[in-house]
């Protein structure tokens, strides 16, 4: 059985303890992942601290070239990494699955490589000149979730490194192997200590985020963990980028052509079997359009091939883990018990954490499947009578990551978009993130943004040089 390792100061670290990782589609073992100790966390932070001054002193151009080489390594190993992601996380190789995830990793590496934050003159008159410089923060603790394990780790690692920080990354305990392999590969072009890993459960994440020598925390995960991390950061005063859960609403404007939007709605909701932070998690449809929208979504759902994602024919894979599988089942059962219309599509294999593609109609706000983040392939479709009610529903929860408006024309959609409380409001698309466009949550979905120039600024500290003329 293969044993995977963490990497500290450019070297593989033997762990005292391990956990076995299994393929969620087949139950097959993938190998042993390391479980770090608190001493390992300390060693990784020390290594990152030691490397940081040297790394910050490299030229901007040198760091750009290094990050560009990281993108090349990802490209050269893209099929190997995609297959590992499918076997560990479950998302299929095909469609918007693991090959798509690796291509996203490459794009989110190339774009920060090409961006820079030169000094900026913020004020000048006859007597003075003030210039804002962007210095690295120091050592970044990056804590990743299990849904898009490589892509989200890249979102955290690359801007941090690009700006002269060093990183200690902890992948999710559910999906450590593909991430550790990615880190091993990209370390070929990074100086020792620039990127280090520790692995294990929340306890190890807590040891890392509360470590006194951490200067910045990048966290993507649940709201509950986000709150713990805020408390932990009182130990080190590290600023935090907090990307938390979502419960994105999509509103279909009355009279919108259901067929024209159905493909976008479908993947907006079922991308990665719904295990995506910015997926459509509740769909609001006018009562006159309700039947057409359900019919159009059912047509697509009926044809979706479900199964082991290593088979290129499959577009829907398993849930990643038993906890999530049980949670989604529980929310659908709750809706069924409450008399909702549960429509299930597709033949699910007997083995593995597979669930059918599920549309749930005759449901309303206040039911668990609407109010709680399901993070799975079960979409509640809520009828509305007045657009104002749908807008109030969309804004009615504390989660506020994304939202979308679906309409025949921009004239109809844009005024509504401005009324929605969310980090991103998409029009006629959902979850359409881009490496140049800032992304982050409002309200309980977190604070701070990633991507683009704003994302780079978030891993720097401003330093002003103020000159008397």
Active site residues: 243, 277
User: CA–CA distance from 358 to each of 269, 327, 405 (Å)?
Assistant: 11, 14, 22
Q: How far is the CB of 210 from ligand NAD (least distance, A)?
A: 8
Q: How far is the CB of 23 from ligand NAD (least distance, A)?
A: 18
Q: Is residue 145 within the footprint of ligand NAD (CB under 6 A)?
A: yes
Q: Is residue 220 within the footprint of ligand NAD (CB under 6 A)?
A: yes
Task: Transcribe 348-374 into DSSP letters.
Answer: PPSSSS---EEEEEEE-TTSHHHHS--
Q: How far is the CB of 133 from ligand NAD (least distance, A)?
A: 29
Decide: 261 and 292 in contact? Cβ < 8 Å: no
Decide: 196 and 44 in contact? Cβ < 8 Å: yes
> Which SS3 state, helix, strand or coil, does residue 299 take?
helix
Question: How do beta strands 378-384 and 280-286 pair?
Answer: parallel
70's CB contacts (< 8 A; 6+ apart) are: 109, 113, 158, 186, 189, 190
Length of the chain equals 469
Q: How far is the CB of 172 from ligand NAD (least distance, A)?
A: 4
Give the residue with the Cβ less far from ligand NAD, 353 or 375.
375
Give the residue with the Cβ less far from ligand NAD, 5 or 445.
445
| Cα(22)–Cα(28) distance, integer angstroms | 5
Give the residue with the Cβ less far from ligand NAD, 254 or 268.
268
Give the residue with the Cβ less far from ligand NAD, 144 or 271.
144
Task: Select from 86, 89, 147, 460 the one that contacts ligand NAD (CB under 6 A).
Answer: 147
138's CB contacts (< 8 A; 6+ apart) are: 49, 52, 165, 166, 215, 216
DSSP 383: E
CA-based nearest residue to 7, from 187, 141, 139: 187
Judged by CB under 6 A, the number of residues near ligand NAD is: 31
| Cα(228)–Cα(241) distance, integer angstroms | 14
Q: How far is the CB of 272 from ligand NAD (least distance, A)?
A: 10
Binding span for ligand NAD by CB under 6 A among 85-93, 98-106, 139-147, 379-387: 139-147
Decide: 358 and 332 in contact? Cβ < 8 Å: yes
Q: Is residue 401 within the footprint of ligand NAD (CB under 6 A)?
A: yes
User: How many CB atoms within 10 Å of residue 324?
Assistant: 24
Give the residue with the Cβ less far from ligand NAD, 307 or 377.
377
Q: How far is the CB of 238 from ligand NAD (least distance, A)?
A: 12
Q: Is residue 159 within the footprint of ligand NAD (CB under 6 A)?
A: no
Positions 353 through 392 that interact with ligand NAD (CB under 6 A): 373, 375
Task: Select from 143, 168, 363, 394 the one that contacts ligand NAD (CB under 6 A).
Answer: 143
Give the residue with the Cβ less far from ligand NAD, 146 or 266.
146
Secondary structure percentages of the chain, helix, strand, coil, to 5? 40, 25, 35
DSSP H helices, 233-367, are 258-270, 290-302, 322-337
Q: Is residue 274 within the footprint of ligand NAD (CB under 6 A)?
A: no
Q: How far is the CB of 325 from ligand NAD (least distance, A)?
A: 13
Give the residue with the Cβ less far from ligand NAD, 152 or 294.
152
Q: Is residue 205 within the footprint of ligand NAD (CB under 6 A)?
A: yes
Binding site for ligand NAD (CB under 6 A): 143-147, 152, 170, 172-173, 201-202, 205-206, 209, 220-222, 225, 228-229, 243-246, 277, 373, 375, 401, 441, 445-446
């Amino acid at each position: 059985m293969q044993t995977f390792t963490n990497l500290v100061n450019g070297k593989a670290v033997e762990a005292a303890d391990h956990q076995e990782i299994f393929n969620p589609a087949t139950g097959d073992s993938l190998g042993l992942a390391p479980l770090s100790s608190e001493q390992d966390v300390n060693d990784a932070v020390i290594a990152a601290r030691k490397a940081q001054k040297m790394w910050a002193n490299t030229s901007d151009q040198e760091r750009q070239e290094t990050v560009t080489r990281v993108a090349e390594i990802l490209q050269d190993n893209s099929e190997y990494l995609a297959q590992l992601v499918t076997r560990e996380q479950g998302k299929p190789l095909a469609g918007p699955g693991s090959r798509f995830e690796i291509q996203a990793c490459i794009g989110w590496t190339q774009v920060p490589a090409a961006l820079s934050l030169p000094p900026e003159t913020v004020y000048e008159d006859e007597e003075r000149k003030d210039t804002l410089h962007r210095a690295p923060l120091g050592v970044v603790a990056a804590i990743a979730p299990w849904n898009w394990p490589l892509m989200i780790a890249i979102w955290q690692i690359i801007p941090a490194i690009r700006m002269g920080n060093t990183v200690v990354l902890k992948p999710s305990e559910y999906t450590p192997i593909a991430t550790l392999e990615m880190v091993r590969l990209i370390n070929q072009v990074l100086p020792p200590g620039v990127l280090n890993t520790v692995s294990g459960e929340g306890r190890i994440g807590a040891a890392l985020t509360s470590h006194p020598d951490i200067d910045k925390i990048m966290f993507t995960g649940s709201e509950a963990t986000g709150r713990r991390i805020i408390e932990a950061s009182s130990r080190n005063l590290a600023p935090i980028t907090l990307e938390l859960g979502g419960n994105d609403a999509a509103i279909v404007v009355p009279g919108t052509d259901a067929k024209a939007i159905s493909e976008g709605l479908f993947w907006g909701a079922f991308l990665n079997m719904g295990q995506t932070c910015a997926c459509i998690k509740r769909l609001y449809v006018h009562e006159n359009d309700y039947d057409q929208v359900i019919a159009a979504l059912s047509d697509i759902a009926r044809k979706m091939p479900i199964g082991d994602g290593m088979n290129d024919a499959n577009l829907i894979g398993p849930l990643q883990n038993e906890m999530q599988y049980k949670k989604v089942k529980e929310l659908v059962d709750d809706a069924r018990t409450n008399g909702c219309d549960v429509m299930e599509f597709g033949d699910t294999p007997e083995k593995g954490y597979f669930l059918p593609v599920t549309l749930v109609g005759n449901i309303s706000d206040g039911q668990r499947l609407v109010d709680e983040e399901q993070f799975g392939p079960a979409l509640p479709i809520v009828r509305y009578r007045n657009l104002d009610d749908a807008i109030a529903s969309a804004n009615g929860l504390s989660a506020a990551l994304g939202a979308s408006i679906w309409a025949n024309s921009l004239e109809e959609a844009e005024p509504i978009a401005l009324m929605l409380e969310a980090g991103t409001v998409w029009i006629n698309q959902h979850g359409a993130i881009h490496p140049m466009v800032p992304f982050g949550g409002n309200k309980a979905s977190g604070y701070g943004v990633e991507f683009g120039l704003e994302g780079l600024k978030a891993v720097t500290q401003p330093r002003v040089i103020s000159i008397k003329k």
